Structures are given as C-alpha cells and as structure tokens.
Amino acid sequence: MGCLINSIATRINHIRNLDRRVQSLTNALRVLTDARDDLKRQVDRAESTGLTCTNQVKGWLERVETIEAEVILLIEDVGQATRLFWCCNPNCLSRCKLSNKVSQKLGVISQLMERGTSDVIVAEGSHPVTVEEMPIRLTIGLDVMLERVRQVLKEEDVGIIGIYGMGGVGKTTLLKNINNEFLTLAHDFNVVIWVLVSKDFVAEKIQQTIGERLGLSWEETECQKQRAKKIYQIMRRKKFLLLLDDVWEGIDLEKIGIPLPDKINKCKVVFTTRSMDVCSDMDAHCKLKVEFLKEKESWQLFCEKVGRSDILDAPSIRPHAETIIRKCGGLPLALITIGRAMANKETEEEWKYAIEVLNKSPSELRGMEDVFILLKFSYDNLDNDELRSCLLYCSLFPEDYSIEKEQLIEYWIGERFLDSSHDGNAHNMGHSLIGSLKVACFLETGEEETQVKMHDVIRSFAFWISGKSEKKFLIQASAGLTEAPSAINWEGAERISFFDNGITELLEIPVCPYLSTLLLQWNSCLNKISSGFFQFMPALKVLDLSFTSVREIPMSICKLVELHHLDLSGTKLSSLPKELGGLAKLRHLDLQRTHYLRTIPREAISGLSQLRVLNFYYSGWEVQDCESENEVRFADLDCLRHLTTLGITVSKLTSLRRLSGFNSLLKCIQYLYIKEYEGLFSLELSSTPGDSERLRRLSINNCCNLEYLEIGVGAGKTWLRSLEVLALHGLPNMIMVWGNPVTQGCLQNLRSINMWHCHKLKNVSWIFRLPKLEMIYLFYCKEMEEVISEDEVVEEDSKAFPSLRTISIRDLPELRSFSRQVMSFPSLERIAVIDCPKLKKLPLKASNASALPTIYGSKEWWDKLEWDETATRGAIIEIRGVPCFPFVSDPDLQCTL
C-alpha cells in the first residue's frame, strides 16, 4: 500500500508541475535556437570565403531543427490536455505521460546545448586560388587584340565584354591568355573563374563549375534556384572576373547566381562566341571581333607547325607554301591543321598535290575535315534552311571575289529563297539575311561597302557541305577553263558556275533535270551556244550570260518554263528572239550595256506578264519614234502591270515627250541614260522622268549643246531622292546650277559622281552638301579651278563629306585646290591625282598616320606638294607611280562593276 501511495504521489506531482516544466522547455528551446542562429552566421561567413561546413556542424544543426519541431508539437499537445482537464473528465494518465515527455526533451536540449557550445570546427578546406592557370599556345597575331581587351577591362563603364569571330579564329586562345595574365595581376580580382559553356548549354553545368571553383557543394536534390542563391551569396561579396568560353545563346547571369557587373562592384564578365547576335543577347557593353591573321603572322604560325625551316626556305617549296597560306586566309585553325599535315612533305610534287587537293576537295587533306566539322556547328546553328541555302549560294562565285549585294539578292529572289511578290520587302529581307550571315561570321565586307565576300576556308566548307547533298554543286569559277566540262558531269547538278573563264562555245546538249542556277558570266570569248542547249533544263530558275560574246540566243530558251532571272547584260546581241516571250514566269530581264542591240520584237516582251525588272540602261536599243506594229513601244511596256524597275536609254526629244505620257512607266524608272541628244540646251533635273523617288542612276553622255544642268530648283520640294549615281560625260559647254540650298531628300542618297569632258565647269561646290557621297571622279574638265569654291565655307568640319571614300581626279590642268579649307574626311581611303600640275595642296587634316588615306600619284608631283601641318607631312603615306589607280573608259561602268 505504501508503494502504491508513493507512485500515485509522484504522478500527481508530475501533473501539478507540468505547466512549470513546459515553461522551462520553452525557455530552453529559445536559448538553443539562438545558439543555432549564431552558429549559422559563422557557417555563412566561412562559406562566403569558399570554405565548406563540417559534417559535425551540419549534423548538430539538423538535430536542432528536428528537436525544435518536436518541442513545438509537444507544447501544442500539453495545451490541449490542459483544456480537457478543466472542462471534462480529467485524464491523469495522459497528463502524466506528457509531463514525462517534457522532461525528456529538456534533457535532449541540455545535451545539444553542451555540444553546441563546445569548441567545434565550423568549416574546413582551403580558400580557392584566385586564378587557375590554363594551358595555352603562343598568341601569334593576337597581341593587338589582347591589348584591346586589357584596355577595355580597365574601363569602369564596361562590365560585360563579348569577343566574337569565326570558329577557329583564336577566341579560346585569347581568353586563356586573358585568364593567365591574372596569375601575376591577382590583386585586380578576388577570383577569376573560367567556364566552358559549349553548344549544349545547361545552366546546372555552369553552376556546377562555378560551385566547384568556389568550393561549394550541394545536394543532388537542390534545384537550380537554390544553387543560384548559394552562388550569389558568395559572388556578391567578391570582385570577380568570369570568363565564359564558347557561348552559343544568351545566358541569364542572374538565374545562374552571378551578380551583374557594374561600377560599384567593379566585376567583369568576358565571353567568346561565334555570333555578334549573342553579344547583343548577353547585353555586352563592348563587342570585339577577332580578325584573321595578317600575312606575316600567318607565315609565322604555319612555319611553327611545319617545324622544318629547311624545307620552307627551299626555292622549290616556298612559293607553294605561300599559296597554301593564302588559301588559309589567316584562319589560325586552318594554318595549324594544314601546317601539321605538311610537316613531313619534303618534295615539290607533294606540295603541288596538296594545293590541288585544297582546290578540288580540301576535306581530303589530313585534319581538314575536323576543321569543317567545327564550322558545321555554326552552320547548323543558323536560324533556318533558307539562311543556309543563301550561304551555300555564295560559293558559286570565285575565290576571294567581292559580290555585289544587290546582284546576290536578285539571284536569291530568282531562286525563290525570297518572295518576289513584294520586291521592296524581298530586297529588305535579302539585306537582312546578308546581315545575319555577316553577324554569324560566315560573310565579310567586300572591297566596297556595297559588297560581301566569302572567306576561302568558308567557301571550301560550303563545297564540303554541298558535296554531302544528293543534288551537287558543279563549281569551276575563275578556273582558267577554255572549254566547258563534259555534259555528263552536269547530270544531277543543282547549281553550276563557270563564272569568269575562257570558254568559247557550248555545243553539247546537257541533261540537267535538277539544275536551278547556271552562271556563265564573264566568259568573254563565249560566242556560240548550240540551238538545243536549254532543251533539258526544265527546273532552271537563274541564268546569267552577262559579259559574254553571245550574239544570238538559242531557240531552245523557250523550254526554260521555270526561268525567273535572265541576265544578258554586256552581251553582243543585236536582237532578241520572239521565243523569249514564252517565258511566262520570268521576273527579271537585264539587258543593260547591250550596245549592239537594235531590234526587240513585240512578242519577245508582250508575253512576259510577270516581269518586274526590265533594264535597257546604257543599251543600244531605245523605243523607236515610229509606231511600228512589230517592235516594242512604250505602250507595250506600259502593259507590264507588275513592272517595278525600268532602265531606259533615250537620245531624242520625241522619245522623252512620248515617255512623259505614261505615268505608270515614269514611276518605275530607276536607270536613265540620255545620250547624244542634239538640241538639248538646258536640263532641270527635277523635270527628268521618274526622278522624284525612284531614280537611282542618271547618266548624260555626249550632249554637246547642253549648257545648264539645274539641280534641286524649287524651294521646299524634294527631287531625286533616290539618285545614287550621277554620270556626266562629254558635255563641253555645261555649267551646273544649284537652284537653292539643299532640301531634305534632294540628292541625299547620291553616292557616286562621274564627270568627264565638262570643260565649262569651274567648280562643283554643291557636292559637299551630299551626306552619302562615297566616290568622286573628275576627269578631263579643262577649266575647272577648284572642286569646292573659296566662297563656300564649311561651318562644321565634321559634317563635310562624312561618307566620302574615294577622290579620283585626272587631267584638270587649271585645278589649283580641292578646297581652301582643311578637312578631316573621316571615311576617306584613297586619293588619286594624275596630270593636275597646279594642284599644290591637299586639304587633309589628321592626328595620326592611320587616319590618312592612301595617295596615288607621280613622285614628281608628290615632291612639290605643300603641307600646312607638319604632322600630316611626316605621316606614313603610300606612294605609287602613275597610273597606279584603275581608270576605265566608261565612267558609269567604273562604279557599277
């Protein structure tokens, strides 16, 4: 009975003291969680320096989290039991059990407090090194680029730097060198992190690399957002340099956990990519393009990889080595690959064979297929098949050839890569595609801004890609052919180019069911084509026979039922066949510079209902005065309802008057050639046909009676808005008059001026008002004294000739000055001066030699030049002998070819 009474008393005591014990438990838990929070802060500080929390501390923190949850639940249970004790039948046994649990939890908390307050190691590991050294090769030819990056890294306003360029051009090598430079400049950044991104971009992969570099670790169950938070907590406390190699698409740095660089944190992000678009997607503050190696650096790199100076210096080998280097076009990867392939080639025959392979099938040379596979990643990454087709099309042109953008776009329209139903939109889209290919580093700017060209290695890559297609390309442009390949080689070809060869005749009848483009232009000796030549080319869309000696079009041309683009410019045709009118789908017919053309039957044109471009500019044919029923008249041209572009030649007043009665034709005229016009005494450009918006080229030739050419007469009006080329030739009595100050739109798009044999001209001062003027050609104007009159004052030097690239003057015996005022000419590239003995000064002003143009002229003239600025006189300027600048007899041809 005594034991029973004691047991009951103990239980009653537990029940009575339950509330007091719960209060003690609550206080103990608060002390424990405070200790936990203090320890967490220590862990966070340690991890922010790259250390890792120890397992011992991790375990203690986890146990605290567990006991905290258990205590909270226990306290809730006690509260519920207390309410039941006072409201209904009491359950003493239950309250007794709760009291025991509270005592137990107090004991656990006490043990945790003892362990947590003891001397434990919070974190372990070493701080990450500031920079991890990368293995690199010699930076041949990259020193200038490396210095540019160094300078940009010092600019406070630049936080994100994009380095772009073609695959294999040396971007990764450059980035590795940037990384290694901070081995000796470690004080500039707390940490330098290198990450290889690659084409298969995965955010978690980047986080993993950065995390390992910072000494972080995380559980597999942690999501991208949780990892980003951990990375951010450390990176926001550091001045970092993040190097991202081979970026293919925009990366959201914040989602990775990278704080955005700014002036305050002074952090930097540098990345490499193959596309300038990615630089924009990454919001790069600075975009730097890695250019190809120069000739000297290319030779140095090639020699290093061959490793045999005795072979390369041999007279029989060196010329072939130089040819191979030129074909590499300064692309480091190609130079390295081919250099290694040629390392053990010791005979001249082996080197000759290597050149043959590079010309015909470069992928067969050891290692080159690896180069092409690298480029294929970029090719596959282009936005669509249309863009890829446009790129491959550029390989039809000769090696290192500058392609006119407009010509290329017309071909693409003919091939139906672009929709020709809305020509303006199609041309804009074409320029957009060219821009995309340039941004992706597949095309580059040609010799002129209006041109593009394809790098030799990219052209070889295009051959390799097209060779894998079922429908092959047959390309032998500028190959020195004197006869065309056998017709059996044409079978199965989708596109054929024999551009710029010496082919004299095409006598076979090839069977080409898939042929879509045939380029035969600039075979200047080609004068005979068999009558059935076009009989089996049912899919042909683009045919170019321009600048050949063809005098007759074969009758089989009527079989080209899918033909969209036909270029016969510069041929020796005297008439067009009636069968031409059967080409119902023809949209582009170019007959400019057909000087022998005299006859065009109505049937040859009237059936071309879909024609959009028709060009007779500089042609020997013009609409006859007589109302002949058999020949083309203005009324026939007026029936071409889809016509948007018309080029025309006139030599009689009656022709101009008759043309003025066809408003729809006037709106289409973009090319106008006025020649040998007797009785033309005065011409107001604002009254010329089609001049208000559409006219692009105007040429006036041998109109000996022309005395006044009035420009922009009529205040407040805008004329000749789209004129690009003005050519005046053989106008000995002409005096130009500018009727009023330049109005918005008046000649504002004029890019080229050609003036020959305009002897009454004293100056052409009005030209400095033209913002887009790129080329000036002034030849044989015997009374010209100044180009810009001394009465004209250019108030703001920076706005004078902002686009001018070429000045070419010849046989101006009275010319004393170009301008009395010195100018900076921000875009000027070259000046050619021939037979201008009184010209003693050039109006050049430049602070350094690189800003000066190349000057062509005789040494005798050069030695007599007077200079106002010592710095300009002492600058390095290239001197060439007469007549080192190309002059041609046709002034308009000079700027169109």
277-303 per-position pLDDT tens digit: 999 999 999 999 998 888 888 888 899
Same domain, yes or no: 120 and 89: yes
Same domain, yes or no: 365 and 229: no
pLDDT at position 517 is 97
pLDDT at position 678 is 76
Domain boundary among 423, 438, 455: 455
pLDDT at position 876 is 42
Could you tell me how far CA 859 lies from the centroid of its own chain?
40
**Please, what's the b/e burial string for 323-357 (b: 16 or more CB within 10 A of its CB; e: otherwise)?**
ebbebbbbbbbbbbbbbebbeebeeeeebeebeeb
Same domain, yes or no: 234 and 324: no
Same domain, yes or no: 157 and 241: yes
522 lies in a domain?
Answer: no
Distances (CA, A) of 759 to 404, 682, 781, 829, 832: 33, 16, 4, 28, 20
**Per the structure block, which two tokens stand in for 849?**
């030699």
User: Do the bridges between strand 542-544 and strand 645-650 make them parallel or antiparallel, or are there none, so unpaired?
Assistant: unpaired
Instruction: Please give the Cα distance from 462 to 483 (Å, whole number).
Output: 25
Q: Give 777's pLDDT tier (boundaries 50, 70, 90).
A: very high
674 lies in a domain?
Answer: no
Q: What share of the chain is helix, strand, coil (3-state, %, to 5)?
A: 40, 15, 45
- The predicted model gives 315-324 an average pLDDT of 90
Query: Which helix (H) or strand (E) segment is 403 a member of?
Result: strand 403-404
202 lies in a domain?
Answer: yes
Q: Given a cut of 80, is residue 97 above it in pLDDT?
A: no
Q: Give 743's pLDDT tier (boundaries 50, 70, 90).
A: low
249 lies in a domain?
Answer: yes
Instruction: Please give the Cα distance from 663 to 684 (Å, whole number).
Output: 19
Instruction: Please give the Cα distance from 715 to 663 (Å, whole number).
Output: 24
pLDDT at position 680 is 75
Average pLDDT of the chain is: 83
726 lies in a domain?
Answer: no
Which of 126-140, 195-209, 310-324, 881-895 is predicted most confidently? 310-324
What DSSP letter does each residue of 858-888 carry, written as one string?
-HHHHHT-B-S-HHHHHS---EE-TT-S---
Q: Given a cut of 80, is residue 157 above it in pLDDT?
A: yes
pLDDT at position 224 is 86
- pTM of the prediction? 0.78
pLDDT at position 243 is 93
Q: Which of 276-280, 844-848, 871-875 has the lowest mean pLDDT?
A: 871-875
pLDDT at position 198 is 83
Domain boundary among 439, 455, 471: 455
DSSP 498: -
CATH of the domain at 431: 1.10.10
Q: What is the pLDDT of residues 494-541, one digit of tens each?
A: 999 999 999 999 999 999 999 999 999 999 999 999 999 999 999 999
Same domain, yes or no: 167 and 229: yes
Domain boundary among 339, 370, 401: 370
CATH of the domain at 191: 3.40.50.300
Same domain, yes or no: 229 and 285: yes
Of the candidates 810, 800, 811, 872, which has an alpha carbon nearest to the alpha carbon of residue 841?
872
Same domain, yes or no: 107 and 67: yes
432 lies in a domain?
Answer: yes
Instruction: Please give the Cα distance from 727 to 410 (Å, whole number).
Output: 24
- The predicted model gives 148-163 an average pLDDT of 91
Same domain, yes or no: 250 and 334: no
pLDDT at position 85 is 46
pLDDT at position 563 is 97
Q: Give 716's pLDDT tier (boundaries 50, 70, 90).
A: very low
Of 120 and 821, the one with more pLDDT: 821
pLDDT at position 693 is 63
pLDDT at position 486 is 94
Of the candidates 785, 790, 805, 745, which has an alpha carbon nearest to the alpha carbon of residue 769?
745
Same domain, yes or no: 364 and 395: no
Of 570 and 718, the one with more pLDDT: 570
Q: What is the pLDDT of residues 54-68, one digit of tens each?
A: 777 778 888 888 888
Same domain, yes or no: 168 and 258: yes
Of the candidates 443, 498, 493, which has an alpha carbon nearest to the alpha carbon of residue 469?
493
- The predicted model gives 788-796 an average pLDDT of 67
Q: Give 374's pLDDT tier (boundaries 50, 70, 90).
A: confident
Same domain, yes or no: 317 and 355: yes
- The predicted model gives 223-233 an average pLDDT of 87
* C-beta of residue 545 within 8 angstroms of C-beta of residue 568: yes
Percent of the chain with pLDDT over 70: 85
pLDDT at position 48 is 62
Q: Give 394's pLDDT tier (boundaries 50, 70, 90).
A: very high
Q: How many domains does the chain have?
A: 4
pLDDT at position 7 is 55
Q: Given a cut of 90, is residue 392 above it in pLDDT?
A: yes
530 lies in a domain?
Answer: no
Spell out the residues 6+ positions from residue 776 whose beta carbon is closer than 8 angstroms to its own: 752, 753, 767, 787, 804, 806, 807, 808, 809
Same domain, yes or no: 220 and 260: yes
Q: Given a cut of 80, is residue 428 above it in pLDDT?
A: yes
**Angle at the Cα of 327 from the Cα atoms of 410 and 855, rounded to 5 degrees:** 75
Domain residues for the domain of 32 are 2-124
862 lies in a domain?
Answer: no
* C-beta of residue 730 within 8 angstroms of C-beta of residue 756: yes
